Structure 1
């Protein structure tokens, strides 16, 4: 069977939480539950690093405005991680060229990352912090569930990931006004900090 459904699903999940994807694949491979995971993802140093970074993301992702800053930093990291994981999966399977798999995984990860980042910008226009926490928990559980499902049922998992990606894009389009409001508010805060620094008397 082609590894393409698994590549697509891993790319979608990497755009939301790349560290969770690496950690889950590595653990499933290391425990012998699947032979689809390359050895490089099962190495103890990779698992430890992914675990530590996952914990960092689990905290940062639930704090208003910190989550958007974290997303900005990961605009490059998540697509690259999606491409690398996809290429490794394809190399292990041998049923799909690694370059093609990397392109699919990286592009899908970029799209899902943009959906996640845009949704968080919209949520951050709300004054209460609970929506951030709830959305972050839902994302973590969704990634864990779909990646785990994809290990054993790659095609149905890919269909679910595709539907979620399409719905996410529609939601971001509908929330465009709130996203613009977030960007204006962030620009205003940056300008206020710049002006405060400019008028501050020299020490």
Structure 2
């Protein structure tokens, strides 16, 4: 059976929360629930690092504007993680070349990351912080559910991930004007802060 659906789904999930993907796959493989997970993801040091970074993301992801800063830092990290996880899954399966799997996983992770980052910029325009917490919890639960589902039903999970990716892109496009306003306000605040912090010339 081709590993491509699992590669696609893991890439989509990595673009949202790469540490959760590594942690979940590693724990399920370590527990013997599935034999689809390569041993390199089941190592104790990998699981501990993934768990620590997952906790950091769980906190940062729920704080307005901190989440967007965290997303900016992870613009490279999430696609790379998606590519690495995909290549490892392909190497474990042997039904897809690791290079092709890495390309699929990395590009899908980048696409879902951009959707997440754009959605968060729009959410941050809301005056109350509860929306960040709700969206973050929904993302975490969605990643955990779909990755678990993908290990046992890879094709249906990949279809769900593809639909969510398309819906996410559509939502971001619809919210683009709101995102631009948020970015403009942030830039104006930074400029005002820089002006206020600049000492007057003598």
Q: Could you tell me how far apart the structure 1 residues matched to 2:201 and 2:149 are?
A: 59
Q: Could you tell me how far apart the structure 2 residues matched to 1:200 and 1:28 are?
A: 60
- Cα 1:66/1:200, change in 2 over 3 Å: farther
Query: Would you say 1:169 and 2:169 are equivalent positions?
Result: yes
Q: After the TM superposition, which segments of 4 or more aligned residues of structure 1 sit over 2 Å from their partners? A: 199-202
Structure 2 residue aligned with 1:158: 158
Q: Could you tell me how far apart the structure 2 residues matched to 1:201 and 1:57 are?
A: 42
Structure 2 residue aligned with 1:97: 97
Q: TM-score, normalised by structure 1?
A: 0.97
Deviation of 1:196 after TM superposition, in Å, equals 2.0
Query: Would you say 1:57 and 2:57 are equivalent positions?
Result: yes
Q: Deviations over 1:117-145 (max 9, x none)?
A: 00000010111001110000000000000
Return 141-150 or 183-192, whichever deviates more. Answer: 183-192
Q: Deviations over 1:32-90 (max 9, x none)?
A: 11111111000000000000100000000000000000000000000000000000000
Q: Could you tell me how far apart the structure 2 residues matched to 1:88 and 1:94 are?
A: 10
SS at match of 2:34: coil
Aligned residues: 202
Structure 2 residue aligned with 1:194: 194
Superposition map of 1:39-188 within 5 A: 39-188=39-188
SS at match of 2:92: helix
Q: Could you tell me how far apart the structure 1 residues matched to 2:127 and 2:107 are?
A: 33
Deviation of 1:190 after TM superposition, in Å, equals 1.4
Unpaired runs of 5+ residues, structure 1, are none
Deviation of 1:201 after TM superposition, in Å, equals 8.5
Q: Deviations over 1:131-182 (max 9, x none)?
A: 1100000000000000000010000000000000000000000000110011
Return 186-195 or 89-98, whichever deviates more. Answer: 186-195
Q: Could you tell me how far apart the structure 1 residues matched to 2:105 and 2:201 are?
A: 51
